[in-house]
Structure 1
């Protein structure tokens, strides 16, 4: 029998922490609680957790710092709890890699809906190639070094966020094009649906029925395909999405 998802609730207010734990347990989840970032790390060391609900405002190390650390070490889904006046913190949290947020005071049903959506999204995304650096992390400035990825006659410089031709000529990329190309390079030869590509590139900012992915694919094809009207790198799978049809390898050398 498959185990129910394990949720870690991190909040220094015992009333909120215990109430959430009780509510989520009634919904069938396994729940652990922590009253600080340090306690959360201890919990993560001894138990497999599927998602963390983290309060931003905690004494000592705050929720943003914990989220940054978790994202640097892996891809544990995170939902932040934030006060109404903390718009800047919400934005920073999303930029650090949090998957969603709920504003206090909140309805537990809303938090439950967001937890379900984040878990569903996390489980739907295909595994990426562990041998390749995380392009989304580079876009957020979380990566180290200046790795490059090679495909066909191109090199993507992650540090400079530049696409390089075989002769070294740089082709500028918008942030959207960089993230989209990065998603393809991290999942070569896999069919990615539009929803998956939106999750990989835009997360919670994507809107229902958003067709920005199709436009981004068209623009990216015009930059990397020999014949954009007959693409050989980004291939359309009708009814399924798109797949990157070239091998991707780390390229030797670093940015100058």
Structure 2
């Protein structure tokens, strides 16, 4: 059995079922609890790597449960609530939660956040979702001004120009270039949707999952030989995306 066990704590069976199917489809072992007593029993009986915890558990307070868990354990906790309440978010983080998701949520967001928290806390084996570190290319800021080459194309990010494999100018929007720049500055690195959002906008927050996916899909149409079978920007299932090619200064 997969040792990467996640505990779902929610008093709504439908929500537990949705999360269970979502996480199991990504290879996790899932156990469930609907109240504090069963939550503490599950933590004691299983090697739990992460907990998704609903703020509202019938007559119980999920924030208080998180506080009690944190008194004796450092298991990562992702709080889930139906209220987009800033106070709940702040209190949740203050009692030790590692992240926050608001209902209704998209299953892709859940997988992205679970993967992000597990990697950040080092709580789980993620070897299957990582790749060897790419050699350090030492691309400096001035190299991007001079232009960089990837898969036969040349990008001049300072002037928003991309030349295709035949040296023809590719029609790109500023949004296309911002997304391209994120990948060119992070070649062969797996980037979660959260991380891409941070790099695009320089702020933390919940990305609109489909927005990132749609932007990547648009960029693929501009740079992939076959957008339907992308080989440059690869999808890393349950995590995010990766630029799977080398990037080097055009003058070297």
Calculate the TM-score normalised by the size of structure 1: 0.47
- TM, length-normalised to structure 2: 0.48
Tell me which structure has the larger Cα radius of gyration: 2
Higher relative contact order (CA 8 A, sep 6+): 2
